[in-house]
Chain A
Amino acid sequence: MKHDTIKASLSFKNYRSDYANDWCAGCGDHGILRALQKALADLGLARDQTAVFGGIGCSGKTPYYLNTCGIHTLHGRVLSFAAGAKLANPALNVIAVGGDGDGLSIGGGHFVNSGRRNLDMLYIMFNNGVYGLTKGQPAPTLRIGERTKSMAHSNIQGYVNPVALALVSGYTWIGRGYAYDVPALSVLISAAMRHPGMAFLDVLQPCPKYNDLHTKDWYAGKLYSLQEDGYQALISADTDVAMIQQVYNQAMARAQECEERIAVGVFLHDVSRPDFQTQLQAMQSAYGDSTPCRQPVTDANGRSMVDISPLLEELKVR
């Protein structure tokens, strides 16, 4: 998030749209939505300068319930649409949201490559272990051998740990939250938005309808805060190589805890690496002043303003 964003003085209620919400009662999505609304208000983000992109599935409907620009995209492709908008208009505050199936299965390629790109935006994964909207098939976050109530057989495919995958993919801010702890989640969203690079927030959430294994009761007593545990996530420009290695090793170890103890909080906060647009501007200096959405196209008479004559000169027969 850039610091020059137009500030708006709004309460979290101003970020609610009046579109009727059709999520199930008790769904973790409600908590994530509330946390998002609170974070947007806390950050004072202008609604017309904030774009929330959704994938496909229950979580993908989030943009309709937010009173910001909202774009409901395609299954697995939410990060591509969001990245396009951010690249074309870097002043925009961009948030992508989607489910664990959307981001790790059908959209797995974009998940990895978005980490590589390190664009200044936030991706929130609604992680409930199942495909809810299609009635409970296993998502790639469901462990091998597990069987939720609508599955015909136990899961025989292994699982992907989203935080671990984000770590090796290059995301520079990585956090995990819990959908039913709205205050803590909203703090994590704000922190992720303030990070000048690609942030990934894994949000654990029960699906009361289809995931009868990872319920509110299952999570009870397992979650602990990394930061309260003294965990150090920061990598700054002067962090030495050994320390960087230690942070990554620790983050990987903590990410893997997923049975008796589950860590929430900030796993990685790496401000040592330039974000994509900083690198882009270094390579292509005109990008800074003439971002794609601001590139002049016509003069007052509606004619092209581009001078291609130097390029024609190169191609001329001499």
Chain B
Amino acid sequence: MNQDPDNLAWRIGGPQGGGINRIARLFARACASLGAEVICRREYHSNIMGRHSYNDVLMASSPLSCHRESTDVLVSFDAETLCRHAQSVTASGMILYSDHDADIQLDQLPYLDERLRDHISARLSSKRLPPSTQGLLQMVGQRGVTAIGVPYQRLLSEIGEELGLPKKRVSATLNMLAVAISAALLKMSEPQLLNAMETTFVDKAEIIRMNRQVVVNAYQYVLEHLEQPSVSMPSNRSSGRRLLLNATQSVALGKLAAGMGFQSYYPISPATDESTYLEAHAEIRLTNGDAVGPLVLQVEDELAAINMASGAALTGARCATATSGPGFSLMAEGLGWAGMNEVPLVVTLYQRGGPSTGMPTRTDQADLLFALHAGHGEFPRIVLASGDVASCFNDAAQAFDYAERYQMPVIHMLDKALTSTLQTVPVFQMPNRRIERGELGAAHAQGIERFALTPSGLSPRPLLGQVAGQHWSTGVEHSEQGQVTEDPVLRERMMEKRAQKLALAAAEIPLSEQFEVLGDERAAFTVFTWGSNKGAVLDAIRRLSTAGIRARLVQLRLLWPFPTEAVRQLLETAAPSVIIECSYSAQLDLLFQQQIGAGCDHQVVKYSGRPISGEALVAALQSIQAGEAESRIVLRNPYE
């Protein structure tokens, strides 16, 4: 493993609750301020304090689409971080660790998984090295990795003395100290780091004062004690105005731009961040200066969340809820009610590792078929999936247009990997299209038929509280007036009417909104995927092209109604064809078989709860291209 020539990967790891995520964001912001493009990955346990978490900041001079599994710099606060990540450091890379962790026995680490401890011990033993961090550092040193034991505690004491504060008080700046040392080693300008630090801790004068001293001392320490490493930051600078944000923020901004009026939710990882961001930013302005704001409400459970949103949608507000697997399971009955009553409702589904509680903070794409089928009986729904942080903005906004146009629930799918990806993207522009509100509050006389049978399947949509808009809605099979019927013929007509709307959506939604073909569009080597794998595939295709291998990516956005004919044609021209998915069963391939009658030649899956990287994918794709691969490839990484 050597550093990629055009990018630099930086990783920070330590016990959860110690501010690792915040300091990584600070570092990413500093890198972006310097003109770098960044993409950051976050891995953490379902735990408040103590368990291992880490963040990656990958920086380059041109836009990035995917994290790396290897890293060039590792900043470690504890021995467990060394155990988990030392072997992922590239040969020319460096490790900055606390000098207190220089010789810790592996069996002294309570949170280090037994499987990983045994794995590392066996490797050390085979090299006749002791089962300790000392042995581990020697082992990676043999590969050329530079490991620097930093006297963090001594440096903190000195900082405390200079500030006239007790060491206990300044120990909270340990993260900043470690970041500043790595920044100095990478020759990041001191003012830029200070600027990012002050932006992060705005309104916290005491912390800013301490951190200023920390930065000064860190740069001084590096100058006096350390040699410049062989890794370095990318030198070219991006220009242009950019945002640094993650997918939950991107979705939230899309919902606001779409004029969302109501969102109800119940806290669940990793969906909660979107709702709490919306709560904190709910007071916004219209272009005419008026203050407005969606009502974003935490309710008692996911049953209430989806049903309140449905109830609110009956009044004409644009409504949504946001959840993850277990919550979505609870929402299945409510989803059916929305389908039966033709309620425009957006459900943002952040997939996480399942089944059951599964892995709440890890990624998965195993809810695809569930999203397509959730709920008993048959009712139409639209399912779309975002592939990257930037597209979440438009997708979240357009989900409301689909919902109102076709009067049905829309499930907007993301995954945990995308959710916690923090990335620089060009500043969002407001969608340049007319907002589609469908038959909302359609003009009508007395005797409105809410479920009138029409050729398109779309009926007038009177609203609760609309003058002369009195009507009935019901989850029971109903007449045009919304009253109970068990008449077999009317039942058939209502089933056909609801199904007709889905056919209308399939016919009307342009191909450009159904999927994208990326990479080398003329290549026969075709990778089909959906969701956050997009970035990994694009990265892999870029890496393949340097080896002279051409490939194209078909990134599916609209998963239901499924773009059957278009995908069939792409599949027919694909040689070889590959499905990429973070699941055990490659559900997209199952869907291909159901819709097209044929699947792909190869499945590349990963179900460890960690995202696929371009770095790992490229080897799999190379072996497929060379005709040397099995039909099913499982991507694995024991250190993630």
**Residue B360 is within 8 A (CB to CB) of chain A in the complex:** no
In contact, B312 and A310 (Cβ under 8 angstroms): no
**Residue A297 is within 8 A (CB to CB) of chain B in the complex:** yes
Q: How far is the CA of A228 from the CA of B262 in the complex (A)?
A: 45
Q: How far is the CA of A82 from the CA of B315 in the complex (A)?
A: 11
In contact, A47 and B310 (Cβ under 8 angstroms): no
In contact, A48 and B470 (Cβ under 8 angstroms): yes
Q: Which of A87, A298, A301, A317 contacts B295 (CB 8 A)?
A: A87
Q: How far is the CA of A40 from the CA of B264 in the complex (A)?
A: 30
| Stretch from B101-109, B221-229, B242-250 contacting the other chain | B242-250
Q: Which of A84, A89, A303 contacts B430 (CB 8 A)?
A: A303
Q: Which of A82, A297, A303 contacts B318 (CB 8 A)?
A: A297
**Chain A positions within 8 Å of B434 at CB level:** 298, 301-303
In contact, A304 and B264 (Cβ under 8 angstroms): no
In contact, A290 and B195 (Cβ under 8 angstroms): no
**A51, A72, A76 — which one has the most chain B CB atoms within 10 A of its CB?**
A72
Given A48-B468, A87-B297, check contact A292 B262 (CB 8 Å).
Answer: yes
**Chain A positions within 8 Å of B308 at CB level:** 80-81, 83-84, 87
Q: How far is the CA of A242 from the CA of B75 in the complex (A)?
A: 61
Q: How far is the CA of A86 from the CA of B287 in the complex (A)?
A: 27
In contact, B435 and A303 (Cβ under 8 angstroms): yes
In contact, B315 and A92 (Cβ under 8 angstroms): yes
- B474 (CB) vs chain A CBs: closest residue: A72
- B400 (CB) vs chain A CBs: closest residue: A297
Q: How far is the CA of A69 from the CA of B316 in the complex (A)?
A: 14
Q: How far is the CA of A110 from the CA of B307 in the complex (A)?
A: 11
Q: Which of A89, A297, A317 contacts B243 (CB 8 A)?
A: A317
In contact, A295 and B261 (Cβ under 8 angstroms): yes
Q: How far is the CA of A311 from the CA of B424 in the complex (A)?
A: 15
**Chain A positions within 8 Å of B571 at CB level:** none
Task: Say how far A75's CB is from chain B's closest CB, in angstroms.
Answer: 9
In contact, A72 and B475 (Cβ under 8 angstroms): yes
In contact, A74 and B475 (Cβ under 8 angstroms): yes
Q: Which of B33, B316, B337 contacts A317 (CB 8 A)?
A: B33
Given A83-B308, A285-B291, A318-B195, check contact A293 B435 (CB 8 Å).
Answer: no
- A298 (CB) vs chain B CBs: closest residue: B435
**Residue B572 is within 8 A (CB to CB) of chain A in the complex:** no
**Residue B282 is within 8 A (CB to CB) of chain A in the complex:** yes
**A84, A91, A110, A301 — which one has the most chain B CB atoms within 10 A of its CB?**
A84
In contact, A74 and B337 (Cβ under 8 angstroms): yes
Q: How far is the CA of A110 from the CA of B304 in the complex (A)?
A: 7
- Residue interface mask A54-85, B partner, CB < 8 A = 1: 00000001011001111111101100111111
In contact, B314 and A304 (Cβ under 8 angstroms): no
**Chain A positions within 8 Å of B471 at CB level:** 69
Among residues 267 to 318 in chain A, which have CB atoms less than 8 Å away from a CB atom of chain B?
280, 284-287, 289-293, 295-299, 301-308, 310-312, 315-318
In contact, A92 and B465 (Cβ under 8 angstroms): yes
In contact, A84 and B473 (Cβ under 8 angstroms): no
**Chain B positions within 8 Å of A305 at CB level:** 259, 286-288
- A301 (CB) vs chain B CBs: closest residue: B434
- Residue interface mask B212-246, A partner, CB < 8 A = 1: 00000000000000000000000000000111110
In contact, B256 and A284 (Cβ under 8 angstroms): no
In contact, B262 and A88 (Cβ under 8 angstroms): yes
**Chain A positions within 8 Å of B311 at CB level:** 53, 71, 80-86, 88
Q: Which of B281, B397, B468, B474 contacts A71 (CB 8 A)?
A: B474
Among residues 100 to 132 in chain B, which have CB atoms less than 8 Å away from a CB atom of chain A?
none
In contact, A88 and B261 (Cβ under 8 angstroms): yes
Q: How far is the CA of A306 from the CA of B303 in the complex (A)?
A: 30
**A85, A293, A311 — which one has the most chain B CB atoms within 10 A of its CB?**
A293
Among residues 196 to 218 in chain A, which have CB atoms less than 8 Å away from a CB atom of chain B?
none
Among residues 284 to 315 in chain B, which have CB atoms less than 8 Å away from a CB atom of chain A?
284-288, 290-295, 297, 299-301, 303-304, 307-315
Task: Say how far B291's CB is from chain A's closest CB, in angstroms.
Answer: 4
**Residue A105 is within 8 A (CB to CB) of chain B in the complex:** no
Q: Which of A48, A80, A299 contacts B469 (CB 8 A)?
A: A48
**Chain B positions within 8 Å of A298 at CB level:** 259, 434-435, 437
- A113 (CB) vs chain B CBs: closest residue: B300
Name A's interface SS: mixed
Q: Which of A53, A76, A318 contacts B33 (CB 8 A)?
A: A318
**Chain A positions within 8 Å of B464 at CB level:** 51, 69, 71, 85, 89, 92
In contact, B475 and A306 (Cβ under 8 angstroms): no
Q: How far is the CA of A77 from the CA of B262 in the complex (A)?
A: 18
**Residue B319 is within 8 A (CB to CB) of chain A in the complex:** yes
In contact, A286 and B465 (Cβ under 8 angstroms): no
In contact, B465 and A89 (Cβ under 8 angstroms): yes
Q: How far is the CA of A63 from the CA of B482 in the complex (A)?
A: 11
Q: How far is the CA of A87 from the CA of B304 in the complex (A)?
A: 13
**Chain B positions within 8 Å of A310 at CB level:** 284-285
**Residue A109 is within 8 A (CB to CB) of chain B in the complex:** yes
Task: Say how far B287's CB is from chain A's closest CB, in angstroms.
Answer: 5
Q: How far is the CA of A69 from the CA of B307 in the complex (A)?
A: 17
**Chain B positions within 8 Å of A72 at CB level:** 472-476, 484
**Residue A232 is within 8 A (CB to CB) of chain B in the complex:** no
In contact, B427 and A312 (Cβ under 8 angstroms): yes
**Residue A155 is within 8 A (CB to CB) of chain B in the complex:** no
In contact, B310 and A19 (Cβ under 8 angstroms): no
Given A92-B465, A312-B427, check contact A317 B29 (CB 8 Å).
Answer: yes
In contact, A88 and B304 (Cβ under 8 angstroms): no
Q: How far is the CA of A285 from the CA of B308 in the complex (A)?
A: 22
**Chain A positions within 8 Å of B315 at CB level:** 85, 88-89, 92, 292-293
**Chain B positions within 8 Å of A318 at CB level:** 33, 195, 199
Among residues 343 to 396 in chain B, which have CB atoms less than 8 Å away from a CB atom of chain A?
none
Q: Which of A83, A85, A287, A303 contacts B314 (CB 8 A)?
A: A85
**Chain A positions within 8 Å of B243 at CB level:** 312, 315-317
**Residue A256 is within 8 A (CB to CB) of chain B in the complex:** no
**A82, A113, A297, A308 — which one has the most chain B CB atoms within 10 A of its CB?**
A297
Q: How far is the CA of A284 from the CA of B261 in the complex (A)?
A: 13
Q: Which of A48, A92, A306 contacts B257 (CB 8 A)?
A: A306
**Chain B positions within 8 Å of A250 at CB level:** none
**Residue B623 is within 8 A (CB to CB) of chain A in the complex:** no
**Residue A49 is within 8 A (CB to CB) of chain B in the complex:** yes
Q: Which of B256, B427, B474 contacts A306 (CB 8 A)?
A: B256
Task: Say how far A64's CB is from chain B's closest CB, in angstroms.
Answer: 6
In contact, B310 and A88 (Cβ under 8 angstroms): no
**Residue B601 is within 8 A (CB to CB) of chain A in the complex:** no
Q: How far is the CA of A316 from the CA of B290 in the complex (A)?
A: 24
Task: Say how far A110's CB is from chain B's closest CB, in angstroms.
Answer: 6
Q: How far is the CA of A82 from the CA of B314 in the complex (A)?
A: 10
**Chain B positions within 8 Å of A301 at CB level:** 434
Given A85-B315, A308-B253, check contact A316 B281 (CB 8 Å).
Answer: no
Q: Which of A89, A295, A307, A311 contacts B281 (CB 8 A)?
A: A311
In contact, B466 and A48 (Cβ under 8 angstroms): yes
- A106 (CB) vs chain B CBs: closest residue: B303
- B195 (CB) vs chain A CBs: closest residue: A318
In contact, B316 and A293 (Cβ under 8 angstroms): yes
- Residue interface mask B247-269, A partner, CB < 8 A = 1: 00100010011110110100000
Q: How far is the CA of A73 from the CA of B304 in the complex (A)?
A: 12
**Chain B positions within 8 Å of A64 at CB level:** 472, 474, 483-484
**Residue B520 is within 8 A (CB to CB) of chain A in the complex:** no
Q: How far is the CA of A47 from the CA of B253 in the complex (A)?
A: 37
Among residues 615 to 632 in chain B, which have CB atoms less than 8 Å away from a CB atom of chain A?
none
**Chain A positions within 8 Å of B288 at CB level:** 305
Known contacts A72-B474, A315-B245, then 15 further A-B pairs from the complex at CB < 8 Å, ordered by chain A residue: A19-B483, A48-B467, A74-B307, A74-B333, A80-B307, A85-B311, A85-B315, A112-B300, A287-B293, A287-B295, A293-B317, A296-B290, A304-B397, A308-B253, A317-B32
Supply 12 A–B pairs (Cβ within 8 Å), ascending by A.
A80-B304, A84-B262, A88-B313, A89-B464, A91-B465, A290-B292, A304-B431, A308-B256, A312-B427, A312-B428, A315-B249, A317-B242
Question: 7 closest Cβ contacts across the A-B interface?
Answer: A84-B311, A292-B261, A297-B259, A302-B434, A84-B308, A292-B317, A88-B312
